[in-house]
Protein backbone atom coordinates (compact mmCIF):
# COMPACT_ATOMS: atom_id res chain seq x y z
CA UNK A 1 0.00 0.00 0.00
CA UNK A 2 1.37 3.39 -1.05
CA UNK A 3 0.59 6.09 1.54
CA UNK A 4 1.14 9.76 0.78
CA UNK A 5 1.79 11.93 3.86
CA UNK A 6 1.13 15.62 3.25
CA UNK A 7 2.25 18.07 5.91
CA UNK A 8 1.26 21.67 5.53
CA UNK A 9 2.06 25.12 6.70
CA UNK A 10 4.62 25.60 9.50
CA UNK A 11 5.30 21.91 9.96
CA UNK A 12 8.78 22.47 8.56
CA UNK A 13 9.66 24.22 11.83
CA UNK A 14 8.77 21.32 14.11
CA UNK A 15 11.38 21.01 16.81
CA UNK A 16 11.55 24.81 17.07
CA UNK A 17 7.87 25.31 17.90
CA UNK A 18 6.32 24.81 21.35
CA UNK A 19 7.61 21.36 22.32
CA UNK A 20 4.79 20.74 24.80
CA UNK A 21 2.24 21.45 22.10
CA UNK A 22 3.86 19.76 19.10
CA UNK A 23 6.48 17.40 20.50
CA UNK A 24 10.23 17.78 20.23
CA UNK A 25 10.88 16.03 16.92
CA UNK A 26 11.99 17.86 13.81
CA UNK A 27 10.08 17.17 10.61
CA UNK A 28 13.01 15.09 9.36
CA UNK A 29 12.99 12.97 12.53
CA UNK A 30 9.21 12.56 12.28
CA UNK A 31 9.46 11.42 8.65
CA UNK A 32 12.25 8.94 9.51
CA UNK A 33 10.05 7.40 12.22
CA UNK A 34 7.12 7.27 9.80
CA UNK A 35 9.16 5.39 7.22
CA UNK A 36 10.39 2.92 9.85
CA UNK A 37 6.85 2.30 11.13
CA UNK A 38 5.50 1.97 7.61
CA UNK A 39 8.10 -0.66 6.82
CA UNK A 40 7.06 -2.63 9.91
CA UNK A 41 3.47 -2.53 8.62
CA UNK A 42 4.52 -3.41 5.06
CA UNK A 43 3.43 0.00 3.82
CA UNK A 44 5.35 2.46 1.68
CA UNK A 45 5.18 6.14 2.57
CA UNK A 46 6.07 9.26 0.66
CA UNK A 47 6.31 12.38 2.81
CA UNK A 48 5.96 15.93 1.56
CA UNK A 49 5.74 19.32 3.29
CA UNK A 50 5.07 22.79 1.96
CA UNK A 51 4.11 26.23 3.13
CA UNK A 52 2.45 26.91 -0.22
CA UNK A 53 -1.26 26.12 -0.34
CA UNK A 54 -1.21 25.85 -4.14
CA UNK A 55 1.62 23.35 -4.06
CA UNK A 56 -0.21 21.33 -1.40
CA UNK A 57 -3.30 21.21 -3.60
CA UNK A 58 -1.17 20.16 -6.58
CA UNK A 59 0.19 17.24 -4.56
CA UNK A 60 -3.35 16.20 -3.68
CA UNK A 61 -4.21 16.24 -7.39
CA UNK A 62 -1.11 14.14 -8.11
CA UNK A 63 -2.27 11.58 -5.52
CA UNK A 64 -5.35 10.74 -7.58
CA UNK A 65 -4.68 7.31 -9.05
CA UNK A 66 -1.18 7.23 -7.55
CA UNK A 67 -1.73 6.73 -3.79
CA UNK A 68 -3.69 4.03 -2.00
CA UNK A 69 -4.24 6.25 1.05
CA UNK A 70 -3.39 9.76 2.21
CA UNK A 71 -2.49 11.17 5.61
CA UNK A 72 -2.95 14.93 5.82
CA UNK A 73 -1.90 17.49 8.37
CA UNK A 74 -2.73 20.76 6.64
CA UNK A 75 -1.86 22.73 9.77
CA UNK A 76 -3.81 25.98 10.00
CA UNK A 77 -5.26 25.41 6.51
CA UNK A 78 -7.47 22.74 8.12
CA UNK A 79 -9.56 25.46 9.63
CA UNK A 80 -10.37 27.54 6.57
CA UNK A 81 -9.11 26.17 3.26
CA UNK A 82 -12.09 25.05 1.25
CA UNK A 83 -9.71 24.80 -1.71
CA UNK A 84 -7.91 21.95 0.09
CA UNK A 85 -11.29 20.44 0.97
CA UNK A 86 -12.35 20.48 -2.66
CA UNK A 87 -9.06 18.94 -3.80
CA UNK A 88 -9.32 16.14 -1.21
CA UNK A 89 -12.92 15.51 -2.18
CA UNK A 90 -11.89 14.05 -5.57
CA UNK A 91 -9.76 11.34 -3.97
CA UNK A 92 -11.29 7.89 -3.84
CA UNK A 93 -8.93 6.50 -1.20
CA UNK A 94 -9.03 6.62 2.61
CA UNK A 95 -7.78 9.90 4.06
CA UNK A 96 -6.68 10.37 7.66
CA UNK A 97 -6.34 13.82 9.22
CA UNK A 98 -3.62 14.15 11.86
CA UNK A 99 -2.94 17.06 14.20
CA UNK A 100 -0.07 16.95 16.66
CA UNK A 101 -1.81 19.21 19.16
CA UNK A 102 -5.29 18.76 20.53
CA UNK A 103 -7.06 21.31 18.36
CA UNK A 104 -10.31 20.57 20.21
CA UNK A 105 -8.86 22.19 23.35
CA UNK A 106 -7.20 25.18 21.72
CA UNK A 107 -8.51 28.48 20.40
CA UNK A 108 -12.08 28.46 19.14
CA UNK A 109 -11.06 28.95 15.51
CA UNK A 110 -8.89 25.81 15.62
CA UNK A 111 -11.76 23.59 16.76
CA UNK A 112 -13.37 23.42 13.33
CA UNK A 113 -11.85 21.46 10.47
CA UNK A 114 -13.24 22.16 7.01
CA UNK A 115 -11.86 18.81 5.80
CA UNK A 116 -13.21 16.63 8.63
CA UNK A 117 -16.25 15.45 6.68
CA UNK A 118 -13.98 13.77 4.11
CA UNK A 119 -11.91 11.80 6.59
CA UNK A 120 -12.00 8.07 7.19
CA UNK A 121 -10.39 8.87 10.56
CA UNK A 122 -9.09 11.85 12.52
CA UNK A 123 -6.23 11.63 15.02
CA UNK A 124 -5.69 14.71 17.16
CA UNK A 125 -3.58 15.62 20.17
CA UNK A 126 -1.33 12.57 20.19
CA UNK A 127 1.84 14.28 19.04
CA UNK A 128 4.05 12.32 16.66
CA UNK A 129 2.34 9.10 17.78
CA UNK A 130 -0.74 10.30 15.90
CA UNK A 131 0.98 9.53 12.62
CA UNK A 132 1.80 6.01 13.83
CA UNK A 133 -1.87 5.54 14.73
CA UNK A 134 -2.88 6.75 11.28
CA UNK A 135 -0.52 4.27 9.61
CA UNK A 136 -1.80 1.41 11.78
CA UNK A 137 -5.38 2.32 10.89
CA UNK A 138 -4.58 2.32 7.18
CA UNK A 139 -2.68 -0.97 7.44
CA UNK A 140 -5.72 -2.50 9.15
CA UNK A 141 -7.97 -1.33 6.33
CA UNK A 142 -5.64 -2.91 3.78
CA UNK A 143 -5.53 -6.25 5.55
- What single string gives the DSSP state of each residue in 56-97? HHHHHHHHTTT-SEEEEE-GGGGGT-HHHHHHHHT--S-EEE
CB-CB contact of 123 with 97 (8 Å):
yes
Q: Which residue of the set 56, 85, 99, 131 is catalytic? A: 99
Active site (annotated) includes residue 79: no
Q: Which residue of the set 22, 56, 85, 131 is catalytic? A: 22
Active site (annotated) includes residue 61: no
Give the catalytic positions in this structure.
22, 99
Amino acid sequence: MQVLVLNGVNLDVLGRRDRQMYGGLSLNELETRLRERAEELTLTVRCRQTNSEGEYIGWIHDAYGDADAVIVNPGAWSHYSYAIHDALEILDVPIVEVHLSNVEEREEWRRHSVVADLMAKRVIGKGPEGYREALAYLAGRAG
